[in-house]
Amino acid sequence: MEWLKELMHQLKPADQDAPAFWQRYSAALKEQLPKDTPLAEAEFVVFDTETTGLDQRQDKVLSIGAIKVRGLQVLVSDTFECLVQQEGAAATKSAEVHGLLSKQLEQGIPEGEAVEGFVEFIGNAILVGQHVAFDIAMVNQMLQRQGIRGKLRNRSVDTAHLAIRLERRHADSHTLKTAEYSLDALCDRYNLPTDDRHTASGDAFATALLLLKLLSLAKKRGVATVGELIK
């Protein structure tokens, strides 16, 4: 069905009233890499958001951290990081987890600026994250509040799902323990450094290293192209 969705989008006329960054984004998305592109040539953006809670409609994004992976290398030079100004955000429980104090958040940038920067950063790269659907939904919610009619349409890879898929070739949902596929558990299992967790950037960096590991594992399982990875 994905091909049909994509086709429909491409046929739809571009939103003439949309801001320039969104028009650039829409144009970029028209040129996706072919599905038989080898993984070594694909561009990924690994990202994570810190939010006031887990409700996709009510809660808000407090910070975004993102880093690019290209040629199977994590590019420390290509990173995106921002704190987002959110009113009343400090009162939430999540703030304690992330250690983001209201004072810090006041130093953040307006939501519109944050989402614009992020969208410019990702372009048509494959989005990667731990439970990436949630983070994409949160970004979409930000877009919506900025009055943009449209959502992120990048290809995406959920590192937790990918790990399950690669480790358990005949997945049995009954015996699956989700706790074993948390970012902490995965980093631990794959012996990856996990300093500075629980900031958006720290998690994005850890997830990027996890992605490298999983891509290497994928190669061994015969997953060699973008198409095979995102299916």
Q: Judged by CB under 8 A, does residue 10 bind another protein?
A: no
Question: Minimal distance in Å, beta carbon 40 to another protein?
Answer: 12
Residue number, 99 or 110, with CB nearest to another protein: 99
Nearest to 40 by CA among 70, 12, 85: 70
Q: Judged by CB under 8 A, does residue 190 bind another protein?
A: yes
Amino acid in the structure at residue 63? S
Q: Judged by CB under 8 A, does residue 191 bind another protein?
A: yes
Residue number, 114 or 204, with CB nearest to another protein: 204
* Residues 72-101 close enough to bind another protein by CB under 8 A: 72-77, 79, 81
Nearest to 205 by CA among 129, 152, 140, 134: 129
Query: Tokens at residue 147, please?
Result: 């009055």
Question: Of the listed pieces 16-24, 137-145, 156-164, 207-215, which binds another protein according to CB under 8 A?
Answer: 207-215
Question: Of the listed pieces 22-30, 149-157, 179-187, 204-212, which binds another protein according to CB under 8 A?
Answer: 204-212
- Taking CB under 8 A as the criterion, the residue among 149, 196, 221, 231 binding another protein is 196
Distance CA 223, CA 166 (A): 10
Whether the CB-CB separation of 51 and 59 falls below 8 Å is answered with yes
Q: Judged by CB under 8 A, does residue 192 bind another protein?
A: yes
Distance CA 188, CA 190 (A): 6
Whether the CB-CB separation of 28 and 123 falls below 8 Å is answered with yes
Distance CA 87, CA 91 (A): 10
Task: Give Cα separations from 155 to 29, 125, 126 (angstroms).
Answer: 10, 7, 5
Question: Of the listed pieces 30-38, 64-72, 135-143, 176-184, which binds another protein according to CB under 8 A?
Answer: 64-72
| Residues contributing to the site for another protein (CB under 8 A) | 65, 67, 72-77, 79, 81, 190-193, 195-196, 199, 201-202, 204-205, 208-209, 212-213, 215-216
